Structure formats: C-alpha cells, structure tokens
Chain A
Amino acid sequence: MAKVFLILKVLRLSTLYDIDVTEDGSFQFTSDNGHKYIVYFLAAPVPDKEGNVHTFLNLGFSRDGDHACNPFTTKFDAKIEATIISILNDVFEKHDHRVLIYFCFGDDGYSRHRKIVFNRWKKGLTRSIENHNATIQYEETEIFSCLMLVSDNPLKGLILDAFEAYLKDYQ
C-alpha cells in the first residue's frame, strides 16, 4: 500500500510545476512553454453583523505579466491547471475557515471564459467546497465573482449574509 502511495505521489509531483514564493508573498512558476505565471492572494477583512472579521483571500493570477487573455493562442497545458488547483487545495487544507474569492474582470471581453476555466478548476478541489457566484457591475463592465468556502465552516451563514449585504450596498 505504501508503494502505491509513493507512486501516486511521484505521479502527482511530476504533473505540477515547481513553485517559487517571491519576497512579496506571491507564487511564481514557469511553464514548459516558457510562460511565467504569478498567483497571488490579497487579504481583505470582511466584517459581519456580529462584529467578527473574516479574512477573504482575493485570488489573482497573471501570465507573462498580463491578466488579459487571448484564447486559442497558447497550447493547453494541463500542468498549469494542476499547479493552480494544487495551490488552492493547500490553501483550504491549511485554512479551512478562510474564504476565497475570485473576480473575473471583463475588460478584454473574456470574463465569461475565465469564469468557465475557474469553474473547471473548482472541480479539482479535494475538500467539500461550496461556491456562490454573483455578477457585479463595475464601471462599464460586468465582473463575475465566485466566493468559495468550506461547506462545514461554522460561520458560513454569517459570512454569506455579510457578503450579500455588501453586495446590495455596492450595487
């Protein structure tokens, strides 16, 4: 049995890119095709109505210094997806009370594409994660947001109530 686990671990490692943690706390890796990816988390305090402050992790990532995408110009690379999913799984394993949020901006007209990709990544998460999607009007564009948290988070109700309240206040 131990041998099987070892083989699985080696297989898992071989399907991920090596990640470097930078001085500013972001994560970087370079794909086999030479594209440089940055994954980062911005901490945001979100107070609820009972005075608790929840730390939301605002996820972002870029490729070659740009967040805009140009579909069909790069070859699909499963290791990129696997690497980012691995980071997200590690985050939820270490911080099961944290909330992760991802905003898909539509400046380049591809927010829907990002949403689809992000939804695919979510299927790779190992814990029981539930997600709550919303569409937010920001200036002239629509932003898709996806909030994720562990299903058995005891403060889930307060967190979601707070998010809904801020969403209403924002709109």
Chain B
Amino acid sequence: MEQVKTTGSTQKNHYNPIRKMIEDKKVVIAAIKNGESLSNLKGIKIVNPL
C-alpha cells in the first residue's frame, strides 16, 4: 500500500475520486465509440493488472 503525507481531510481537498472515475469512464466510452486509441487520453491511466 502506498503511503503519502497527509495533506488534510478529504473534504478540504476538492478532488473527488468518485466524480473523477465517472468522468474518466465517460471519456473512455466516447473514445472507444470513436475508435480512438486509449493510450492517448490525457489524465487517464489504463492499467493491465494481470
């Protein structure tokens, strides 16, 4: 498990991972539909967990 310095509560930092995950998936859905390569999507990390 990665350890990072605590920078405050999750509420103070306005990054909301749930929103980010939903929006990332929306971008990927559009990219696949348009036949775009997923590796060119900015700020979205596709991983191979296997």
Contact surface of A with B, Cβ cutoff 8 Å: 21-27, 38, 40-58, 60, 62, 65-67, 87, 90-91, 94-95, 97-98, 101, 103, 105, 136, 138, 143, 145, 155, 162-163, 165-167, 169-170
Contacts and interface: CB of A to CB of B under 8 A. Distances in A.
Report which residue of A95, A136, A166 has the largest number of chain B beta carbons within 10 angstroms of its beta carbon: A166
Contact of B48 (A41, A51, A53, A66): A41
A142 to B, nearest CB: 12
Contacts of B17: 44-47, 56, 166
Contacts of B42: none
Interface in B1-50: 1-7, 9-11, 13, 15-22, 24-26, 28-29, 32-33, 35, 37-39, 44-50
Given A42-B47, A90-B50, A143 B4 contact: no
A67 B32 contact: yes
Given A44-B17, A51-B7, A53-B3, 8 more contacts: A24-B38, A24-B39, A46-B17, A51-B6, A101-B21, A143-B22, A167-B18, A170-B18
A52 B33 CA distance: 35
Contact of B50 (A24, A56, A87): A87
Contacts of A145: 18
Contact of B22 (A21, A38, A90, A103): A103
Contacts of A66: 32-33
Contacts of A26: 38, 46, 48
Q: Which 3 A-B pairs have the closest CB atoms?
A: A51-B6, A24-B39, A25-B48
